[in-house]
Chains A and B, each alone.
Chain A
Amino acid sequence: MTLTAPTLHTGLDHPMMLRPFVVTERTRETDDTITLVLAAADGGDPLRFSPGQFTMMYVYGVGEVPLSISGDPARPEALVHTVRAVGAVTDAICDLLPHDTVGIRGPYGAHWPIAESTDRDIVVVAGGIGLAPVRPAIHHALEHRDEYASVSIVYGSRSPDDLLYTDDVRDWKARFDTNVQITVDRGDAGWLGDVGVVTPLLNRLAFVPENTTAIVCGPEIMMRVVAKDLVQRGVAADDIHVSLERNLKCGIGYCGHCQIGAAFVCKDGPVVPYARVAHRLGMEEL
């Protein structure tokens, strides 16, 4: 085995160097989740990204976290992040207001193979906050709808009040060329939609298993159950892509915090074929 030293960087091209971004819009999605739109404050190029990639966002004086990009890849001038308050840094991010400035590094990581899947059936399955990392792939698929055989979206949420991007979801459901199925774990008196887990909704999709690219994002147990179900239906494990979440620190494969087996989630993922991680997803220790 040959060990190579990391490339040395100086100045602004250093991968740990932050770029200042200013918050231009803030939207409350649910009681604990907000969406921020940010713009580069240094006059530099917009942050071009591929669906599924993430950035590292630094809140000055508080800390840094990885965040999936949830905007439209065709509009890179608007960097969009949807954030749930689950700790000190994300609490601070959720408190940001328009005109506040943060530091951004990235984009990093592997992407959903949506642009590479033309002429195929696209099945997107998202659970909870997992809709945020797949939204760029959905944007791409719907903006290039003619290039795909079919597009199906299955979205599971905790309750009707926890549904993200309700305007987007309404628009997706209104399309005649897209099959959108939504379910919640707990309905309320006004909820007339489905209640239950996402897997039974796969029965309502029309896709040819051997010609399907599946994009699955959500809690790991949900991804495991969905991926197993898709494999049983005949979708190849290599054609099912999941997004892993681990303790990311550097984002560029230096620190090893996000190691899973022989891979680094930040560098080799977060998007990976299910075939590569199927044997690890069921391990409680990981």
Chain B
Amino acid sequence: MNLDRWRTRSPLLADLADDHVAFLASVAVEEVLPPDETVFKVNSPADRFYLVDSGGIALRIAGPSKPPITIQTVGEGALLGLSWRLPPYRWQWTAQTLTDTTLIRFDANTVLSACEADPTFDNALLRVVARESSQRLQNVRLQLLDMYGRQRP
């Protein structure tokens, strides 16, 4: 699969070496999903990850006796799925399509095998996952600030 479109624009690929991108392109599989389709479910095995090619995904969590709420959405170019890289290798959220969505899927075992054989690839992917995790943590902190809420003096 050709990933040139996302070579510089996706956080998954932007900082990877050309041969690493070529490897990911060789194992990438396109997945086309309708709206409201579950991509993965919380607590199930995180055995894959995705690049969002088009459309949008809601990351949801359900509280006790409450309907699920959307914590975050991810759109075109985003890396979907971080749990495949870190123990316990289970999804932390449920991911659901918001609209007609095309995903580029990568099998975690295939990529992890390549990482074992090539420590520079392993290191590069770990940096991608760490940076994305850090960025999402910062974003959630900003959301928690309720910065757009009314602030009486």
Could you list which residues of chain A lie within 8 angstroms of chain B, going by C-beta atoms?
32, 84-87, 127-129, 156-158, 162, 183, 185-187, 189, 191-197, 199-201, 203-204, 218-219, 221-222, 225
State the CA gap A162–B150 with chains docked (Å): 11
Contacting pair B153 A222 (CB below 8 A): no
The reply to whether A197 and B142 contact each other, CB–CB distance below 8 Å, is: yes
* Size of the chain B interface, CB-CB below 8 angstroms: 28
Known pairs A187-B70, A203-B75, A204-B75; A127 contacts B143 (CB<8 A): no
27 pairs of residues in contact across A and B, judged by CB atoms under 8 Å: A86-B151, A86-B153, A87-B152, A87-B153, A129-B148, A156-B148, A158-B146, A158-B149, A185-B143, A185-B146, A185-B148, A187-B69, A187-B70, A189-B67, A192-B99, A195-B70, A195-B72, A195-B73, A197-B139, A197-B142, A200-B74, A200-B75, A204-B75, A221-B147, A222-B142, A222-B147, A225-B142
Q: Does B127 contact A (CB under 8 A)?
A: no
Judged by a CB distance under 8 angstroms, whether B71 is at the interface is yes
Q: How many angstroms between the C-alpha atoms of A250 and B100 in the bound complex?
A: 54
Q: Which of A127, A187, A196 is most buried by chain B, counting CB atoms within 10 A of its CB?
A: A196
- One digit per residue, 1 when the CB lies within 8 angstroms of any chain A CB and 0 when it does not, for chain B 68-92 equals 0111111111100000000000000
With a cutoff of 8 Å between Cβ atoms, the chain B residues found around residue A162 in the complex are 148
What is the count of residue pairs linking A and B with beta-carbon distances less than 8 angstroms?
Answer: 74
Tell me whether B148 and A127 are in contact (CB under 8 A).
yes
Asked if residues B98 and A192 are in contact (CB atoms below 8 Å), the reply is yes
Q: Which residues of B contact A (CB under 8 A)?
A: 9, 56, 58, 67, 69-78, 98-99, 139, 142-143, 145-153
* Pair B147/A219 contact, Cβ less than 8 Å: yes
CA distance A101 to B26 in the complex (A): 70
Does the CB pair B9–A203 fall under 8 Å? yes
Specify which chain A residues have a CB less than 8 angstroms from the CB of B9 in the assembled complex. 203
A200 touches B71 (CB 8 A): no
What residues on A are CB-neighbors of B67 within 8 Å? Answer: 189
Q: Which of B71, B145, B151 contacts A195 (CB 8 A)?
A: B71
